[in-house]
Amino acid sequence: MGSASADEKLDVIVIGWGKGGKTLAGTLARAGQRVAVIEQSSQMYGGTCINIGCVPTKALIHDAESRHGAGYDQQAFQEAVQRRDKLNAMMRAKNFSMLDDLESVLVVNGKAAFTGPRSIKVTAGSEELELSAGKIIINTGALPAIPDIEGAQIGARVHDSTTIQHAQLPRALAVVGGGYVGIEFASMFAQFGSKVTVLDRGSRALSKEDPDVAREVESCLEDTGAVIISSASVHSISQDEQGATVIYERQGEVHQLQVDAVLIALGRVPNTAGLGLEAAGVQTGSRWEVAVDEFLATNIEGIHALGDANGGPQFTYVSLDDHRVVASQLLGDGSRSTNDRVAVPFTIFTTPPLARVGLSEEQAAHQGIQTRIAVKKVSEIAAMPRPKIVGDPRGIIKFVLDARSDLILGAALMHVDSQEVINLVALAMRMGLTASALRDQIFTHPSSTEALNEVLGFLG
């Protein structure tokens, strides 16, 4: 069950091998503490990001983009999956050795459950192991949310974001959900040649984005042949050997959609079921997340929760920052907290990618902030030749600025390299740089960054 003896006294137990937990485990071990890391699956060493999330999906997206509209090709998809798996295996092995090679780390394979506020029982088949420590870190991640829809159980032709990565490439795919996950997968499979239909229950897909930004994403998705149906309420899903049938209602009319596979893409929920949190007295929230304060401490002294399990933003880099917050409590001066986070960006890897940070125009308006808007289509930006050089001049750049202070309140960048440029914008926001100062910076040429010179010179 373990890779070392459990006889020694433990200082810390980390449940789960996600980004925050594994990094904290290594930090504490190198500081001289005895740490046990519990992981229930040998296929999840390293956590969600490198095994079923960020890394494998972006590898598949990269291979999909390289096909340039080549059409449906099952073999091409399988080759992409094989490359994905090879990359994952390499990263998983590296993540395992990064902790297992440390003498003060005990690796335990099995399912963990609290038996008290300081004790854990680990079960692996018929084997059981009792562990205890003064500090316990919950780092169990999240799982795909499954809606209460008839026939929405995962299996055979009905998939979640994990299982579809190893499915046969469907000739026709229904994506239930028009949020970030659904749109990203829709973009990828459409470029692999699937006929994709997105069924979104809202009035429009990507409802958290401003309408002009969402329209640009939809336009790029439609370029691949995908169809987005809004205001579509899915009633049931059925399947047989020939395919799957999705019954949905739209504007009072019932429709039937025949496909080869269905992807349920309605977000993720914290993976806390079966942890025995009640035995430890740990409180949870309305979505089963572990309730924590700004220092990521639970209501039980000595127990912290990192990453998706605590209900915060579901990004691996936020989980990494969670590790910094808890390390500050356990090894530092205790001053760092989640309140220190300003302008945290994110990206969805459509083609081209959409990256965002801060407030949208709609969000700023709802807060009663007087704004100025700088916005341009990428194809109209003269001083941004890089997208044209690489053959994809689509997209939009939009900045939301405080009309009084000229500070950047938020930005939406949809263009080639936006996943990189957004980090510069976020840094400018954290440093209190004005839009005018960012506009007048000297950027390399030809680059995507230099678009900021022009876009921020056109304020509405």
Q: Which residues are designated catalytic?
A: 445
In DSSP terms, 195 is beta-bridged to 172
In whole angstroms, what is the distance from residue 306 CA to residue 326 CA?
8
Backbone angles phi, psi at 359, to 5 degrees: -85, 145
Three-state helix/strand/coil letters over 237-273: EEECCCCEEEEEEECCEEEEEEECEEEECCCEEECCC
Determine how many CB atoms are found less than 10 A away from the CB of residue 334: 11
- Alpha-carbon distance values, 249 to 201, 234, 402 (Å): 9, 6, 42
284 secondary structure, DSSP code: B
Residues 6+ apart with CB under 8 A from 72: 169, 171, 192, 193, 194
Residue 59 and residue 70: Cα distance in Å, rounded?
18
**CA-only gyration radius of the chain, Å:** 23
Of 460, 451, 458, whose CA–CA distance to 378 is shortest? 451
**Closest by Cα among 173, 159, 176 to 236:** 176
Distance CA 139, CA 16 (A): 5
Cβ neighbour number for residue 431 with a 10 Å cutoff: 11
CA distance 204 to 185: 17
Report whether 420 contacts 356 (CB < 8 A).
no
- Which amino acid, residue 17? W
| CA–CA separation, 362 and 207 (whole Å) | 11
Q: Which residue has the tokens 């969000």?
A: 363
